[in-house]
A and B are shown apart, each in its own frame.
Chain A
Amino acid sequence: MIVDSVEFINRAYDDGKRIMIEGANATMLDIDFGTWPYVTSSNASIGGAITGLGIAPNKITGVIGMYKLSTVTLSLCTLTLSFALTHSLSHYVLTSTFTLTLHSLSHRITFAHHTLHSHSPLTNSYSDHSLALTSRLIYTPHYTHTHLQSITLHSLTHNNLYRYHEGLHHEGWSGSLPD
């Protein structure tokens, strides 16, 4: 369906419809605010919602960030932890009263995982299953083959990405998560 999207979205807004906008990629792949040059060709952070749809910024009433417990990247640069970290933030934009969702592409995650697995010295703490947990499990509730040996949590706020040196290491859990 082809519509005049500016008219379409703003009319829906004027009519009081609940609007959910789904972003793609992640903030650290944003061409302006990401880890250039390892970025995509557009604005994958909040600005993309505005420029992409022609909806005014002051009409947005909520922004939900979603990120995985682990970090993946597709870039072919030598992976360091900080680089890997930078690629994990996705943003969700909420207008009116409803939520919206956004997620990374599954096949990209798989490939990215492989890259991580092959090249990152830190790969051992990012298991295949943790990737599944954080990406697929949300959308595929029956995917329960999670078997985490350990999980590393990192501060993912934008401002301290580059200042990050050491993550907080937490005990992992073993066994399947319930459906």
Chain B
Amino acid sequence: MKAYTTRVGAGPFPTELVDEVGDKLRSVGREYGTTTGRPRRCGWLDIVAMRYTHRINNFTTLNLTKLDVLSDLQEVKLGVAYKYNGKVLDSYPSSLEVLSQCTVEYETFPGWMTDISKARFFEDLPPACLTYIERIEELTGCNIGWVRFDFRLAENNQLLFRWAWVLDARRWQFASHNYLLQHNKILTK
């Protein structure tokens, strides 16, 4: 799962960003169709859709990718609920018409504004970044076992690395546990 949401082509996209933030996600994350070159629509991570897919697939673990694309942002948001006619929907709407008229409730987090691409361990990530990750875990009810970064091109245009780091699930849990101990938190799920 990307740390934000993209969609190619037409269709409802409640958390879509049509402003400069969306443009930034598109350029930093290189969100263009692989074959057609079509620019992908970008938006905040859609937790409602995520929960729905979790219901369908019952993931045992999530792999959060392209987290570093969000690094430059002042604030990051999670779309946590859909509202239709002023009421929060308790499930993903099956009607396209309803879906297209939904508004989204967001949770806003301060951006971490740090280059995290050199992080190798969970503890290396800035607290704001960890907060974002753990909130995704809480909201989706699914453990994030891996975090993967976008690949970056070096100045000489060579592929510097494809996977900055991959954390296996046990490692993550270990690190996460340490983090929680240090911050005197208890995981609520």
Contacts and interface: CB of A to CB of B under 8 A. Distances in A.
Interface of A: 4, 6-7, 10, 54, 56-59
B183 interface: no
A10 B60 contact: no
B49 to A, nearest CB: 13
A10 B94 contact: no
Interface in B54-99: 55-58, 60, 90-92, 94
Contacts of B58: 56-59
B94 A58 contact: no
A93 B165 CA distance: 41
13 contacts: A6-B52, A6-B91, A6-B92, A6-B94, A7-B90, A7-B91, A10-B55, A54-B55, A54-B56, A56-B55, A56-B57, A56-B58, A59-B58
Chain A contact residues, majority secondary structure: helix
A4 B60 CA distance: 24
B55 A6 contact: yes
B60 A6 contact: no
Contacts of A4: 91, 94
Contact of B60 (A7, A54, A58): A58
Chain B contact residues, majority secondary structure: loop
Contacts of A57: 58
Given A10-B55, A57-B58, 11 more contacts: A4-B91, A6-B55, A6-B56, A6-B91, A6-B92, A54-B55, A56-B56, A56-B57, A56-B58, A58-B58, A58-B60
A6 B90 CA distance: 12
A63 B57 CA distance: 18
B126 to A, nearest CB: 34
Contacts of A59: 58
B62 to A, nearest CB: 14
By Cβ-Cβ distance, the 10 closest A-B pairs, closest first, are: A56-B58, A7-B91, A10-B55, A54-B56, A4-B94, A58-B58, A56-B57, A59-B58, A4-B91, A56-B56
A43 to B, nearest CB: 16
Interface string B86-117: 00001110100000000000000000000000
A61 to B, nearest CB: 12
Contacts of B94: 4, 6
A69 B58 CA distance: 37
A12 to B, nearest CB: 12
Contacts of B57: 56
Nearest to A50: B56
Greatest chain A CB density within 10 A among B52, B56, B60, B90 is at B56
Contacts of A10: 55
A10 B56 CA distance: 8
A56 B59 CA distance: 9
Nearest to A54: B56
A161 B91 CA distance: 44
Contacts of B90: 7
A149 B97 CA distance: 62
A46 B57 CA distance: 15
Contacts of A7: 90-92
Interface in B118-163: none
A57 B58 CA distance: 8
Contacts of B60: 58
A58 B94 CA distance: 24
